[in-house]
Structure 1
């Protein structure tokens, strides 16, 4: 089993403050790694809320906070068969939750970080499917919070740190950007898109001298 995937710097959280948007990154060895955005709400120690997977699936998570131990579960499918994933982890002093995943016949590891407070925030989660060439494709999950025409929030890919995006909206058009690195060199990534009549988004993406396109769905 490979080491846990490291996330960006988390926000501080106490055992009494679990209502937030979380990025959860899990792995079952080095060959199976994934990311989730979970918008969890706590009510008298019960935990519930939607999670969006990198594959675009909307998952309904339920669980409980007992002391400093968080447990939650959801139903999904893998290779065409139904599967229940159960998470159990300890809330650490720095706010992360680290623990194990039980998938029935196999076990994995996960690390979760609170990246956006749910207090009076109206945030939206988007999944961006990006393509530069038929061989170079990937997906990005972003959760944005609006402040007037400005937007900001965390973005996550399957591997690597949490990326902090900033941008703006102008009617049906949206632009945002974040800084990352590729093969050891710094890269500034810019998205320019327009919301379609069905609520999806389409547009272009630029990474340095390379330009591609994207489609996005809102959850």
Structure 2
């Protein structure tokens, strides 16, 4: 695994300087040369070796051509260089597509070496296979060295924890509001019952008062 990481760092330094002409296309073509070199070391990509070798040879030739275009040498045609880049871009995409197919096959075949190597090389974006890699890690982390996938899985665990905490917080808030509503209803009911008792008692007092006055008028007291 370390050799892949070293090669990746080396490639960044080695291919940091590319032709300026048509750089948007050329950088993609040139910057992945070292990644393709590393792909050749994988057993799962052995049938791509001749194709990759041809690509690398043509890319190196194209790079020399690109620097000549930058220097505006009359012997080099910029349009021819652009056409060469377009052809290499198609070949580049073919290799990348093939690597992705082998990566997906490796996950199905439980080929941890290919899975981890392709991620380390940088030919595969782990985020593009987020759910599959999480499942793969859960199933095979005890049997295979999947340290390159571990950060992705730990992030997934943190997300789960955060979601659970949010759910618990929402549930706690809902319970708090429900309890508050119950207390408010109980308080309102108590006030209503107290008011009814007060009104009833006042009516009784008024009724007794009227009866007492009537008795006095009739001389019954």
Q: What is the TM-score when the length of structure 2 is the normalising length?
A: 0.22
Instruction: Give 1 or 2: higher strand fraction.
Output: 1
Instruction: Give 1 or 2: higher helix fraction.
Output: 2
Larger Rg: 2
Q: What is the TM-score when the length of structure 1 is the normalising length?
A: 0.22
